[in-house]
Structure 1
């Protein structure tokens, strides 16, 4: 066995394309990778868990087709330029430092996702001329928690379209001091009746 240890900082474009591992990898847990590029895990239908403790960048389509993916954790990721679109098994999402979701359809059709907790997120969307649709068609998503004491800016009202939140049976939990600001916001106001105070629901929002 070699006495040397090699580490990888970037999982590049098409890293797993046409390889045997693409069909069999079920878990990726790594402390060294900082970038996951486009198509890196494209079509990894067996992949269930991804934990990247030092990942600071994920790119579009890096997890497209990961239909068995249940758990993702990127503790230091601040800006999301990739997405988990059609990850229909995704249930556990850990993004404690995420401030900005820039990708359209970021979690679209993640039909198993019931709860999203974004402690510091302050912006969802990709610009005023684009529809963000970040959680569109997440048919099980009934809890969205935005903990930041600064209101999260929103680029388009479609963010929770076709979810329990848009249908009136799910809720968005924010700091009590910000509820009126959210309800009066040009874009957030479409969900005005679905806002609840984090402080009033410790059984749901407690950490």
Structure 2
């Protein structure tokens, strides 16, 4: 399988007054198409910064990020935004749903920016919510749903456009153990079904069991990379 994401000598330095904080230091990594990668490390290890770099949410201080034919590190904000709308989905720890919108409206909103007609995007959003088990919550707002249900809406929003890449930043961080397993099975099951590349950030070693490779980060460096021989393969309910 060919490489989809290639990182070359990434470095990210933040400045706080006179202090210089090195979040990433000469990180290089290649990720293949349809591969599931887990970025594992404690708080402050650089894992979320690395994900944000790949997603084009932050610019590197130095280094190169190439996704397919796109040099993300060279692209301006407008072009990166267009790239994300077309090729990328996100699942966040805090769900990031719009509180005034229903589940259906939250999921269909992203399709608006792709120029999809209203009737079609609502049909796509409804089917995706059914797929994640929320057929009875289509018109509920986030405040009317549990944490697990809100995360299912977030997953539906990330996958509805069938993006090539899905980035998940601590997607189970606010969930109990049972719901965590349900959500991980759902995320990985859908990624398998749609033949997507999945990058998950976590500090939970059990989440790493779902990944083809686990990238261990410490103090802004890749400490080691391991391959999983017995991968847990999730399935869509």
TM-score normalised by length of structure 2: 0.26
Q: Which has the higher contact order (CA 8 A, sep 6+)?
A: 2
Question: Is the strand fraction higher in 1 or 2?
Answer: 2
**Structure with the bigger percentage of helix:** 2
TM-score by length of 1: 0.29
